[in-house]
Amino acid sequence: MGPMLLLSLSLPLPASHPSQVFNAKTAELLSHHQVEIRQSFPKEGWVEQDPKEILQSVYDCMERTCEKLGQLHIDVSHIKAVGVTNQRETTLVWDKETGEPLYNAIDAALLGLCSRECLTHCVLAVPVVWLDLRTQSTVERLINKTPGKSKNHLKHKTGLPISTYFSAVKLRWLMDNVEEVAEAVLTHRAMFGTVDSWLIWCLTGGKSGGVHVTDVTNASRTMLFNIHTLDWDPELCRCYFGTTCRMTSHCIITLNCLGDQSAALVGQMCFQDGQAKNTYGTGCFLLRNTGVEPVMSDHGLLTTIAYKLGKDAPAYYALEGSVAIAGAVVRWLKDNMGIIRSSSEIEKLAGEVGSSYGCYFVPAFSGLYAPYWEPSARGIICGLTQFTNRSHLAFAALEAVCFQTREILDAMNQDYGVPLSQLQVDGGMTSNRLLMQLQADILCVPVVKPSMPETTALGAAMAAGAAEGVGVWSLAPGDLAAVPTERYQPQINTEESEFRYARWKKAVQKAMNWETTEPVSNGNGTVD
Ligand SMILES: *[C@@H]1O[C@H](CO)[C@@H](O)[C@H](O)[C@H]1NC(C)=O
Ligand SMILES: *[C@@H]1O[C@H](CO)[C@@H](O)[C@H](O)[C@H]1NC(C)=O
Ligand SMILES: *[C@@H]1O[C@H](CO)[C@@H](O)[C@H](O)[C@H]1NC(C)=O
């Protein structure tokens, strides 16, 4: 018998490893392939990705990953399951009737990998990525409709504040602003889902019987899902869409699909209450496992479903906080300011100084998320002196990532009642050792990084392996060989750490209440 392998697909994919094959027993990464996907910014505050390009790149990546397996003389028939992980709130709507039929090109995987023809039928898919701000006015309108004009009006059911971040608001925006979507909704042709739902629909046949499903971790981020009953909620539906919503509970599955952050939690093996992980990507995502009871936050965090591995398994809940801009600030220094040529240069540049020399950089480019949820904030760099140079700015940018993480952890400690004893980390930025050391210094607890970097993909593969009928893993502790780790211990004293953190908070106050909904001059006397 050959090795049991799991294929993991990660979506959407700016600069990640979208396709990877793991050995089911050892978690060893055998083969992977990566492509860059373009994000487009059609207007200020809008972020889009072309779904056809996403799908095309998934096919390319799967093909290349399998080719590489071939070079290792491993047969693709050893792949026993496909896990999919995605950014949970990215929203797609597509037309179920305009599709071309699919055929199974390779029967290696459980899902059946489909042909490129599947590309042609996702014509109506309009993606809205989570960084997108266009739905702000929709949010304000929805909040004004609630009895207390409160963004927390539905939180007792959803665990979430009403925000641009979650899919229902994006869907409402699409229905109000994109004629094709409005028409497809009226004629019952519109299908709505996150990227994974769309991909699974394509992979399982598209218009010819493709399955339209989601799992509880994704569903819990739509704002339409009741996290206590674990079902779609008619009242929530009515709130966003009037009475037109026809959701059926059979489209919830609990199989091999996890939201990306949940997948990272599983991949980090945070199976015990109180354990937490932070993923450093474009943004930061901090999740803390609170066990089988949901903990409602008094500090602006979200309550979400962490994972539910199997139909009869209990749902595990998590407190979650997100930082909108983390890796994106490095990209901004590179692309917009030109002070570094590649993202990896930032470590060396910041390392020249070892301090920001009193410079603080609050990268609130799209407002501030947890724990503030303040859409009116905008970015600010303060504490500049004649002495400040590029190195200090680079250092301040890295520190900003760490301070934002600390704010969320402080909120979690208060909501959960037990201080965190260490933070598990993953994601692209964790290869920056200066950043990891800074994070330990600013948190005053050790930071632990698995030496296998792609824990999100591993988590999705693990969940797929644990699904009924696959039987690769039971996900019992000790089922997997322990993954080796790197540890960063705090190296500065608590007083210094607290001083820097207090200054940061002062800088955050200065970034608040900047943007107003007044019309703005476009710079040559006219008004937009
Ligand atoms: C929910 O998200 C996960 C990963 O984020 C994905 O694998 C899963 O397929 C999604 N929902 C569905 C369609 O089951
Ligand atoms: C910035 O200033 C510090 C201290 O004067 C110096 O060590 C560092 O090399 C400078 N960085 C750049 C990029 O000029
Ligand atoms: C200035 O105004 C003209 C039209 O009056 C417009 O075409 C142009 O794009 C504006 N410039 C900027 C910088 O917005």
The protein residue whose alpha carbon is closest to atom 1 in ligand 3 is 524
What pLDDT does residue 258 have? Answer: 44
CA 300 and chain centroid, separation: 18
Beta-carbon count within 10 A of 297 CB: 23
Separation between Cα atoms, residue 520 and residue 504, nearest integer Å: 29
Distance (angstroms) between ligand 3 centre and the Cα of 135 equals 25
Distance (angstroms) between ligand 2 centre and the Cα of 389 equals 6
DSSP annotation string for 160-224:
S---TTSHHHHHHHHHHH-HHHHHHHHTT-EEEE-HHHHHHHHHTTTTTT----EEHHHHTTTTS
The ligand with the least distance to the CA atom of 11 is 1
CA 160 and chain centroid, separation: 15
Rounded to 10°, the helix 51-71/195-203 angle is 60
Separation between Cα atoms, residue 458 and residue 23, nearest integer Å: 10
What pLDDT does residue 11 have? Answer: 55
**Which residues 6+ apart lie within 8 Å of 316 measured at CB?**
289, 291, 292, 305, 306, 307, 308
Q: Does ligand 1 have an atom closer than 6 angstroms to the CB of 259?
A: yes
Measured from the Cα of 392, ligand 2's closest atom is 1
The identity of residue 239, as a single letter, is C
HSE, CB side, 13 Å, CA atoms: give it for residue 278: 31
The protein residue whose alpha carbon is closest to atom 5 in ligand 1 is 259
Q: Does ligand 2 have an atom closer than 6 angstroms to the CB of 146?
A: no
The identity of residue 291, as a single letter, is G
The protein residue whose alpha carbon is closest to atom 4 in ligand 2 is 353
Separation between Cα atoms, residue 467 and residue 118, nearest integer Å: 26
What pLDDT does residue 126 have? Answer: 31
Separation between Cα atoms, residue 309 and residue 281, nearest integer Å: 25
Ligand 2 pocket check: which of 340, 341, 345, 352 to mutate, most ligand atoms within 8 Å of Cβ? 352
What pLDDT does residue 106 have? Answer: 16
CB 85 within 8 A of CB 148: no
The identity of residue 435, as a single letter, is L
Ligand 1 pocket check: which of 258, 261, 287 to mutate, most ligand atoms within 8 Å of Cβ? 258
Distance (angstroms) between ligand 3 centre and the Cα of 387 equals 37
pLDDT tens by residue, the chain, 528 residues: 556 666 666 654 443 445 666 665 666 676 666 665 555 554 444 445 556 666 676 777 777 777 777 787 777 666 666 666 555 445 566 666 653 222 111 111 222 222 222 222 222 233 334 445 556 777 787 788 888 888 888 888 888 877 766 777 777 777 777 777 777 777 777 777 766 677 777 766 677 777 777 767 777 777 788 888 877 777 777 776 664 454 443 334 333 344 445 555 555 555 566 788 898 988 888 889 888 888 988 888 888 887 776 666 778 888 988 888 899 999 999 999 999 999 899 999 999 998 999 999 999 988 887 788 787 899 999 999 999 999 999 999 999 999 999 999 999 999 988 889 889 888 889 999 999 999 999 999 999 887 665 565 666 666 665 554 444 444 544 444 456 678 999 999 999 999 999 999 999 999 999 887 654 555 555 544
What pLDDT does residue 184 have? Answer: 74
The protein residue whose alpha carbon is closest to atom 4 in ligand 3 is 526
What pLDDT does residue 351 have? Answer: 96
Q: Specify the pairing of strand 79-86 against strand 257-259.
A: parallel
